[in-house]
């Protein structure tokens, strides 16, 4: 009996030792399976992240980002005549207003010409007024008196001739000589002619000046007026004024020089409007139209944006200019756009590199520094 119990105890101990030996090996077999499951889980998470990122990149961007440079209009302002420059009142960098005096010419030779033209005009005006008013009553009365005197002389000459003619007839030509008759006849004819002349003179006085004379006088008056206006305009042009609000970029002339219409005196930069000249690829052209709002940022003013709008889209494709940096290939065709900018403080300068953020239709505008804007810049170019 004891031998059987001892045998069972020994058998159980051997089984326990065998189990103790087998357990490490079984644990070792289970460890690779845990690692495999962990690797599968991590791989699934990574694959999901990649798929999510891919889907995120395929979603429509919130804005289109393009790159360009600030541009503006310039004015080369010359004098309108040739004369010696008396004063130059503006310097480079000055902000000038519309109508502000920039320079002045010497007008010492122009002043007497204006005075002579004014005198000629006044004299011709009197001539035209006299033609319109016609003859004075005194002149007409004088013509009437001349007619009356000529009529009296003609009546007297007629009476004298009639008496001599009657006497000659009654005496059968013996009482009056032939010479006296001829003299009386000549006196009568002369008196009649003087009467006719004075009557025509009276008619002229009553009719007044001819309409052709009036038209000639008025034409000469207009010519004198035009000459005076030309000299007065030259006098006004002696003052060179700013045509609009601008900034003086270059002062080209100095006092003492002779001005010329072909030589600019100043170069002005127009402050408003300003725009950014940028370029859009053909694939993004359909998303841009005139009137779209836009935001413009420059490196010189970080964290600040300038509001603007798309004001021009070129209808002709061109190759990307060498000074434009975009993610697209340089050989691709692009279209020029102009984004006009509000710059009340005149902070933007000509040629300054700028970034244009154009919110796309149907999307919420993203801030210039957001990830959506950076993604749109990377994809839209």
Same domain (yes/no): 280, 376? yes
Per-residue tokens: 13: 């101990």
Q: Check whether 308 has a pLDDT greater than 80.
A: yes
pLDDT of residue 210: 82
Same domain (yes/no): 140, 172? yes
Of 265, 288, 307, the position where a domain reaches its end is 265
Question: Is 178 domain-assigned?
Answer: yes
Same domain (yes/no): 100, 238? yes
Q: Check whether 245 has a pLDDT greater than 70.
A: yes
Closest by Cα among 65, 66, 68, 67 to 351: 68
pLDDT band at 379 (very low <50, low <70, confident <90, very high): very low
Give the mean model confidence (pLDDT) for residues 100-104. Answer: 96
Alpha helices, DSSP H, located in 171-289: 178-207, 211-237
Tokens 């009197």 -> residue: 126
Percent pLDDT > 70 in the chain is 75
Same domain (yes/no): 239, 93? yes
Q: What is the pLDDT of residues 133-149, one digit of tens each?
A: 877 777 778 888 888 88
Give the mean model confidence (pLDDT) for residues 87-94. Answer: 94
Same domain (yes/no): 82, 141? no
Question: Is 46 domain-assigned?
Answer: yes
Q: Check whether 76 has a pLDDT greater than 90.
A: yes
pTM assigned to the model: 0.55
Q: Which domain holds residue 310?
A: 63-72+271-380
Question: Is 226 domain-assigned?
Answer: no
Q: Check whether 65 has a pLDDT greater than 80.
A: yes
Give me the chain's average pLDDT, please: 79
pLDDT of residue 178: 77
Task: Count up the domains in the chain and report the number.
Answer: 4
Q: Check whether 234 has a pLDDT greater than 90.
A: yes
Stronger pLDDT, 244 or 29, i.e. the higher one: 244
Same domain (yes/no): 141, 191? yes
Question: Is 121 domain-assigned?
Answer: no
Q: Check whether 287 has a pLDDT greater than 90.
A: no
Q: What is the pLDDT of residues 203-233, one digit of tens each?
A: 777 767 788 888 899 999 999 999 999 999 9
Same domain (yes/no): 292, 359? yes
Question: Is 114 domain-assigned?
Answer: no
Same domain (yes/no): 240, 93? yes
Give the mean model confidence (pLDDT) for residues 57-76. Answer: 80
pLDDT of residue 157: 83
Q: Which stretches does DSSP call E strand in 22-134?
A: 63-78, 85-88, 95-96, 101-105
- Give the CATH number for residue 284: 2.40.30.170
Closest by Cα among 99, 191, 186, 123 to 152: 191
Percent pLDDT > 90 in the chain is 32
Stronger pLDDT, 286 or 14, i.e. the higher one: 286
Stronger pLDDT, 222 or 18, i.e. the higher one: 222
pLDDT band at 370 (very low <50, low <70, confident <90, very high): very low
pLDDT band at 19 (very low <50, low <70, confident <90, very high): very low
pLDDT of residue 365: 41
Same domain (yes/no): 9, 67? no
- Give the CATH number for residue 247: 2.40.50.100
Same domain (yes/no): 161, 307? no
Q: State the DSSP code for 240.
A: E
Q: Check whether 108 has a pLDDT greater than 90.
A: yes
Of 217, 249, 265, the position where a domain reaches its end is 265
Stronger pLDDT, 379 or 68, i.e. the higher one: 68
pLDDT of residue 114: 94
pLDDT of residue 320: 62
* Pair type for strands 239-241 and 101-105: antiparallel
Closest by Cα among 335, 275, 329 to 71: 275
Stronger pLDDT, 276 or 34, i.e. the higher one: 276
Question: Is 336 domain-assigned?
Answer: yes
Question: Is 218 domain-assigned?
Answer: no
Cβ atoms of 284 and 310 within 8 Å: the answer is no
Same domain (yes/no): 177, 257? no
Q: Check whether 317 has a pLDDT greater than 50.
A: yes
Q: How far is the C-alpha of 30 from the C-alpha of 90, rounded, in Å?
A: 91
Stronger pLDDT, 25 or 218, i.e. the higher one: 218
Per-residue tokens: 118: 């004014």
Question: Is 299 domain-assigned?
Answer: yes
Same domain (yes/no): 68, 93? no
């Amino acid at each position: 009996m004891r031998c059987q119990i001892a045998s069972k105890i020994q058998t159980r101990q051997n089984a326990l030792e065998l189990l103790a030996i087998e357990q490490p090996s079984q644990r070792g077999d289970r460890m690779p399976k845990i690692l495999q499951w962990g690797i599968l889980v991590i791989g699934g998470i990574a694959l999901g992240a990649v798929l999510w990122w891919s889907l995120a990149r395929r979603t429509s961007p919130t804005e289109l980002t393009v790159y360009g440079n600030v541009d503006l209009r310039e004015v080369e302002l010359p004098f309108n005549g040739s004369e010696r420059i008396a004063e130059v009142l503006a310097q480079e960098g000055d902000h000038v207003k519309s109508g502000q005096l920039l320079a002045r010419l010497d007008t010492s030779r122009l002043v007497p010409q204006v005075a002579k033209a004014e005198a000629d005009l006044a004299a011709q005006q009197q001539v035209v007024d006299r033609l319109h008013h016609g003859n004075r009553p005194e002149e007409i009365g004088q013509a009437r008196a001349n007619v009356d005197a000529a009529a009296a002389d003609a009546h007297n000459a007629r009476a004298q001739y009639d008496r001599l003619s009657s006497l000659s007839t009654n005496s059968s030509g013996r009482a009056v000589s032939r010479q006296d008759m001829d003299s009386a006849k000549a006196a009568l004819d002369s008196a009649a002619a003087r009467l006719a002349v004075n009557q025509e003179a009276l008619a002229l006085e009553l009719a007044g000046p001819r309409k052709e004379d009036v038209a000639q006088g008025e034409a000469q008056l207009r010519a004198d007026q035009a000459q005076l206006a030309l000299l007065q305009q030259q006098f006004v042009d002696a003052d060179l004024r700013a045509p609009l609000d601008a900034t003086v970029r270059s002062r080209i002339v100095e006092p003492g020089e002779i001005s010329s219409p072909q030589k600019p005196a100043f170069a002005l930069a127009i402050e408003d409007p300003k725009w950014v000249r940028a370029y859009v690829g053909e694939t993004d052209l359909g998303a841009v139209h005139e009137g779209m709002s836009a935001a413009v940022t420059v490196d010189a003013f970080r964290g600040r944006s300038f509001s603007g709008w798309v004001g021009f889209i070129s209808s002709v494709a061109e190759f990307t200019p060498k000074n434009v940096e975009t993610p697209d290939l340089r050989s691709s065709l692009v279209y020029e756009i102009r984004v006009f900018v509000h710059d009340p403080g005149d902070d933007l300068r000509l040629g300054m590199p700028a970034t244009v953020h154009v919110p796309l239709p149907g999307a919420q505008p993203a801030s210039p520094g957001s990830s959506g804007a950076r993604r749109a810049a990377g994809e839209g170019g």
